[in-house]
Amino acid sequence: MDSYYIKYDIKDQIATVEFFHPKSNSFPSTQLREMIRILDELGKNEEVKIIILKSEGDKVFSAGASFDELMTIDNFSDGKKFFMGFANVILAMRRCPKFIVGCITGKVVGGGVGLAAACDYALADANASIRLSELSIGIGPFVIEPAITRKIGITAFSELTMNPTVWKSPEWVKEKGMFNEILPDASSCEEAVTKFAENLSVYSLEAMRDLKSIFWQGTEDWLDIMPKRAEMSGHLVLSDFTKETLLKFKSK
């Protein structure tokens, strides 16, 4: 497969959303917009009770936003728009009235960590180490911070961001509260996610909607916070430090 995609299927009131990109399941802006469209569509579909979110393969769950697209940014407006990409996906996950169960197989980087954190429940395999690498290129995980801190707290978030080259094990992530269960491998993770979703699907959709609204209490200000965070990155991506660092990556 040489092109990227997001697809979904619905079976027995469970929608499985799968995404793929040949560059470590990273997300260009077009794919992020498609993810938002699908989540909004499934949120309104009365035939769907539960959403499973997964990526193709078992090496990397997601490397975050497209690095290739990041390197093309040459003005503040485009920079802010780019960094709002994952923010808007997280906001779509927040407003979706259905439980979103994450199947996290493989390593998770940058925006991918925000995606995992925004799941209402997340099962991961033994290879699902995480890393926030943004500081190493002169920016920061500003727009995804609210979703991550909501799950693991500011102290653990600070530890992640201040060690941008260090992988944190799935056991560490579970201990901090972002992963709910860890399975030995991708296959067993997918089986466990399917079983978990099947168990949930027999319950009242109305009750689950009300519960989700409780889960996300206190996040109403994200609509104001995230654009301001995107502006931070939009400025920093134009800095000499970031431009020089990106050129070094490109030349490797």
Sign of CA dihedral 51, 55, 61, 65: negative
pLDDT tens digits for range 38-71:
999 999 999 999 999 999 999 999 999 998 999 9
Examine residue 179 and state whether it is found in any structural domain, yes or no: yes
CB 216 within 8 A of CB 94: yes
Q: 252: pLDDT confidence band, cut at 50, 70 and 90?
A: low
The pLDDT of 187-215, averaged and rounded, is 98
Q: 2: pLDDT confidence band, cut at 50, 70 and 90?
A: low
Examine residue 193 and state whether it is found in any structural domain, yes or no: no
- pLDDT, residue 8, reads 98
Residue type, position 150, single letter: R
Examine residue 98 and state whether it is found in any structural domain, yes or no: yes
Q: Which residue has the tokens 């040949």?
A: 22
Cβ neighbours for 99, distance < 8 A, ≥ 6 positions apart? 49, 50, 51, 120, 121, 200, 208, 212
Residue type, position 63, single letter: A
Examine residue 230 and state whether it is found in any structural domain, yes or no: no
Helix, strand or coil for residue 160?
helix
Euclidean distance between CA atoms 198 and 191, whole angstroms:
11
pLDDT for residue 73 is more than 50: yes
Residue 57 belongs to domain with CATH number: 3.90.226.10
The residues with which 18 forms a beta bridge, in sequence order, are 7, 54
Examine residue 125 and state whether it is found in any structural domain, yes or no: yes
Examine residue 58 and state whether it is found in any structural domain, yes or no: yes
Examine residue 229 and state whether it is found in any structural domain, yes or no: no
Structure tokens at 147: 């979703």
Neighbours of 115 (CB within 10 A): 29
pLDDT for residue 134 is more than 90: yes
Domain with 137 in it = 5-188
Q: What total number of domains does the chain contain?
A: 1
The pLDDT of 12-29, averaged and rounded, is 97
- pLDDT, residue 1, reads 43
Euclidean distance between CA atoms 169 and 164, whole angstroms:
14
β 60-62/107-109 pair status: parallel
Examine residue 117 and state whether it is found in any structural domain, yes or no: yes
Helix, strand or coil for residue 158?
helix
Nearest Cα to Cα of residue 215 among 158, 155, 147, 123: 147
Residue type, position 92, single letter: A
Nearest Cα to Cα of residue 238 among 88, 137, 136, 165: 137
Instruction: Determine the angle formed by the axes of helices 29-44 and 76-95, rounding to 10 degrees.
Output: 20
- pLDDT, residue 21, reads 96
What are the residue ranges of helices labelled H in the chain? 29-44, 67-70, 76-95, 111-117, 145-161, 170-176, 186-200, 205-215, 222-236, 240-251
